[in-house]
Amino acid sequence: MGRFPTEMSLTNARHPGLEALREGFYLLDPQWRVTYWNGAAERLFGLPREEVVGRLAWEAVPGAEEERVRRRLGPAMDERVPVSFPMGVTVDGRWRETAVEATPSEDGGVAVRVRDTEEEGRASERYLRLLESIRDGFVAVDAEWRLVYVNRVARRLLAMRRTTLGQVLWELLPERPEEIGEALRATMEDRMPRRLAAVRPEGRVFRGRHFDVWTDAVPGGGISILFQDVTGHLRRERELARLAAEAEDASRARSRFFAAVSHELRTPLNAIVGYTHLLSGAAYGPLPAGAERAAERAGVCAEHLSRLVDDVLLLTTADTERLPVLPRAIDLATWLPATLEPLRRQAEAKGLAFTIEVDPGTPPLETDPDRLRQLLQPVISNAIKFTSSGRVRVRAAEAYDADVGDGVEICVADTGPGIGGDDRERIFAPFEQLGDPARHDSMRRGTGLGLAIARQIAERLRGTLNAGPGEGGDGSVFRLRLPLAFGPPAP
């Protein structure tokens, strides 16, 4: 039981370690007087320490007699050897069974620990009822591999009867798979817990089922084994995996369908666009004014439908992550003006100022120029489309971003109506558009796919694309951040 503080004799001081004990504990000096009485002893015997400390042991402990105390504790007091024995005490007129352990102390007295075996029995009974109620098999063996406890589920799994307690565990466990026996022996040896996942024991009683097996050490040198039947769980996992594979196959089939249909539509649409341009350009001779206007209108509608087909094709390709990316180094100072020239003419035709700015010293950017063009096209087109007056500015500069690291930021700013805070994320979802009642014409509003495609391409380029308020609260700003070096995707 270790050493105990003899300097606390005949005082009311409390030792934190002794007060933390769940068992009753007291000290006797060589004259058989009680010199320490902990809180658990107060609760067990129903006597406060103030009434006990300083009294003789047979006067303090309820139901004790001098001759009996001297006989039981005499070997510890006189011969200085530890002793243990059961003892019944009377507390508040009620008989209680206890277990006593007495050890010689350094001052010539005895340290006594008293356990309430009735309370231990009740706790043990509660634990046994708990083990019997669980849906998993539970087995405990001693250091000699003899069964000391088997719950109801384990008896059924192992085809056992209660009378087999004391039988050697190896006579009941299957020889295969071998990892079960290896785990049990290892836990018995090193006292470390282990788990085996989804093992399938051989044998008629197991009927091809799978079990998770936990092994753990128990006091006294034995181990415990918990068997959990996971056959149904594995069956559900396999079914979910099958359904997920079917859903993935259906998604791929849908993407292939959209891609095939889009490709099939492209050919006749391109022919329609070409012939309407020829008609409106008088390639087959002059047309009446009404026919010329109809041809121009048909050409505009065909181009709009062609863009819609292109967007659907690109979106389905990006969805399946099959969009090819071929990075190379580009100089934004020369690449941006050349690539955005058609958009500059579109903005100036609408009376908008269009500027492209690249900060001096901006390093070359390693990315796919074709994908970058596909990304910027819808962002800048929207800025031009929804800005009635003012300007559209494209600015590139070196920047650091927590998501992409060292990189380049390309900002597209306009002086249009702006985008509300609640809509700045929604607009990147497919087919989502701002509810401006002035934009009732689908030819002007577009398909609602451009920004969704732009963000997916930004992610394929290892970057981010977000929308925010414009400078001074006017218009909006789209910020594209790309890494300087095209590396592996971020985790």
CATH number, position 269: 1.10.287.130
Domain boundary, last residue among 60, 86, 116: 116
Per the CB < 8 A criterion, the answer to whether 194 and 187 are in contact is: yes
What is the band of 481 on the pLDDT scale with cuts at 50, 70, 90? very high
Indicate if 143 and 217 belong to the same structural domain: yes
83 and 188 fall within a common domain: no
Give the three-class secondary structure for 460: helix
Q: Quick check: is 1 in a domain?
A: no
Q: Which two tokens stand for residue 440?
A: 């009732």
| Of the listed ranges 43-47, 95-99, 239-243, the one predicted with least confidence | 95-99
pLDDT tens, residue by residue, 22-73: 888 999 999 999 999 999 888 888 888 888 899 998 888 766 788 888 888 8
Strands of 176-292, DSSP E: 194-199, 211-217, 223-229
Which of 265, 286, 319 terminates a domain? The answer is 319
pTM: 0.43
Whether residue 105 sits in one domain with residue 177: no
Residues 346 and 472 in one domain: yes
Same domain? 355 vs 443: yes
- For 95, the 3-state DSSP assignment is strand
Under DSSP, is residue 356 helix (H, G, I), strand (E, B) or coil?
A: strand
Per-residue pLDDT, 2: 44
Residue 449: Cβ-neighbour burial (10 angstroms; 0-12, 13-18, 19+): buried
Question: Where residue 401 falls among pLDDT bands split at 50, 70, 90?
Answer: confident
Residue-range definition of the domain harbouring residue 243? 233-319
Q: Taking Cα atoms as reference points, which of 326, 278, 479, 279 lies closest to residue 397?
A: 479
The residue among 287, 319, 351 that closes a domain is 319
| Contacts of the segment 393-397: beta carbons below 8 A, 24+ positions apart | 393/354, 393/355, 393/356, 393/357, 394/336, 394/340, 394/354, 394/355, 394/356, 394/357, 395/356, 395/357, 395/358, 395/359, 396/332, 396/336, 396/357, 396/358, 396/359, 396/362, 397/358, 397/359, 397/362
The mean pLDDT of 344-361, rounded to a whole number, is 90
Backbone angles phi, psi at 120, to 5 degrees: -60, -40
| 440: confidence class by pLDDT, cuts 50, 70, 90 | very low
Residue position matching structure tokens 């009683």 = 205
From the list 135, 144, 127, 164, the residue with the least C-alpha distance to 227 is 135
Give the residue from 436, 449, 439 showing the smallest Cα distance to 379.
449
The domain spanning residue 154 has which CATH number?
3.30.450.20
Range name among 159-163, 180-184, 409-413 with the lowest pLDDT average: 159-163
Mapped onto helix, strand or coil, the DSSP state of residue 360 is coil
Average pLDDT, the chain: 81
Residue 44 belongs to a domain: yes
pLDDT at 1 over 50: no
Exposure class string for 260-283: b at 16+ Cβ within 10 A, else e:
eebeebeeebeebbebbbebbeee
Is residue 180 within 8 A of residue 173, CB to CB? The reply is yes
Rounded to 5°, the CA angle 62-67-68 comes to 55
**Residue 158 in contact with residue 174, Cβ under 8 Å?**
no
User: Is the same domain home to 336 and 441?
Assistant: yes
Residue 489: inside a domain: no
pLDDT recorded at residue 193? 92
Kindly state the tokens that stand for 97: 């069974």
Residue 363 located in a structural domain: yes
Question: Do residues 141 and 96 share a domain?
Answer: no
Q: Which residues pair with 431 in a beta bridge?
A: none
Reported as a single tens digit per residue, the pLDDT across 112-132 is: 998 877 666 566 667 667 777
Dihedral angle sign, alpha carbons of residues 443, 448, 450, 451: positive
- In this prediction, residue 489 has a pLDDT band, given cuts at 50, 70 and 90, of low
Identity of the amino acid at 270: N
Same domain, 258 and 369: no
Residues 112 and 43 in one domain: yes
Query: Do residue 475 and residue 369 come from a single domain?
Result: yes
CA 301, CA 381: separation in Å to the nearest integer?
A: 18
Tell whether the model's pLDDT for residue 202 goes beyond 60: yes
Plot region of 63 (φ>0 → left; ψ -120 to 50 → alpha; else → beta): left
